[in-house]
Amino acid sequence: MDSVGELTETAFESLKNNSNSKRGGARPGAGRPKGKPNQATIDRMAVKKAFQERVAAHADSLFNAQFRLAVGEAFVYHVYYTGSGKNRKKHTEIVRNPELIRELIDEHGDNLGFGTKDSNDQDHYYFVSTTAANNQALEALLNRSFGKADENIDITTGGNALPEATRLPSDVVEGFTEFMMAKTKGTGANNAK
């Protein structure tokens, strides 16, 4: 035999000895190793980890934002005008100075809108705006802090174990079945011809 024939015969024998069955099947060492996740799963896990790290880095400000939603907020606005005639413009800004807010509350109390003339005889005024508390945000905060409250209440057994279910006697089951068959015999799809 020539070398090509020997090579072919040798390759055939090698394949024949390594095969688990005559028609194919699993090959040793083929495929993804057990326990190794798909590449798509690895990518999703990396994105999730990056997201969790980003959220963790801003946890305080996110908590504060949700807390403000849960309890509501109050803002003090300062509205003032500049210019006159056609050039008169209205400006609105949030008052962030806690000392000024304290002074305004002390001076005006519960009056939510109050105005004055400044030294240049320009109108300006302050007003308070509030946002209502958000019950969903409040509930989410409480659930995260103390765990979700039980939503089912036992009103039938007083906390005792439920009794074992009793099996209906066969004659009752047969009688009910006959009754239902007789009742539906003249109606429904069975009657269509």
SS3 121: coil
Query: 111-165 pLDDT, tens per residue?
Result: 656 665 555 555 777 877 778 888 888 888 888 888 887 777 767 777 777 667 6
The band of 83, judged by pLDDT with boundaries at 50, 70 and 90, is confident
Strand segments, DSSP code E, in the chain are 73-82, 89-94, 113-117, 123-131
Residue 192 pLDDT: 47
Residue 58 CA to residue 55 CA, distance in Å, equals: 5
Sign of CA dihedral 170, 171, 174, 180: negative
Query: 4-58 pLDDT, tens per residue?
Result: 555 566 666 666 555 555 567 788 888 888 889 999 999 999 999 999 999 889 9
Contact 114, 83 (CB under 8 A): no
The band of 193, judged by pLDDT with boundaries at 50, 70 and 90, is very low
CA-based max dimension of the chain: 117
The domain ranges of the chain are: 73-131
Residue that is written with structure tokens 């008169």 in the block: 88
The band of 78, judged by pLDDT with boundaries at 50, 70 and 90, is confident
Residue 172 pLDDT: 83
